[in-house]
Amino acid sequence: AGGIYDMSFDFVSQGTVVEGDIYTVSDWTAFAKSVAGGNTYEGQTITLKSDLSVDTYFEYANGTFEGTFDGNGKTMTANGNIWPLFTTIGENGIVRNLTIDGKFSRYANAAEVGNATIAKINKGLIQDVTNYADTELSGTYVFGHIVTQNGGKLERCKNYGIWKRTNASRQK
């Protein structure tokens, strides 16, 4: 004979970039590759739904982002960072409510002489972002902990990251 059982469970979405939510490092990677592939996300909001941490660095969104990236009060920690999250925050782009932590272990593109945790170039709005990522690199670099070149707005951003330049031995 059969029985009737009362069963219930909570479904927790794993998220995808298509849904506009980032739950995992894999979701971030798919999103970053999409930006690098030319998707600007203009008019769309991408929301970080959980804290993310990697031993090295997050995939680089090497393109122009024109949407809204809402960090949702979460933290992204990269412990061997080499580049920012975005190349360019476009004129319509917004990055907000995000904390960055970890450290820069080396510099991916030394010839470009500039780096930061959020973006190399900001033409849009970076709002309520806090940086705790430390940097200790040898050489001469321009390192703006939140953004390297700002042509947009930074509102209520805080930088607690420590920049320390080490002297590397030079050979002639």
Ranges of the chain with pLDDT below 50: 9, 11-13, 15-18, 111, 113, 168-172
pLDDT at position 7 is: 56
pLDDT at position 160 is: 86
pLDDT at position 110 is: 52
pLDDT at position 48 is: 97
pLDDT at position 57 is: 86
Q: What is the pTM of this model?
A: 0.80
Q: What angle do CA 41, 46, 50 make, to 5 degrees?
A: 155
Q: How many CB atoms lie within 10 A of CB 15?
A: 19
pLDDT at position 104 is: 75
Nearest-angstrom CA–CA distance, 90 and 80: 26
Nearest-angstrom CA–CA distance, 43 and 149: 24
Nearest-angstrom CA–CA distance, 85 and 65: 11
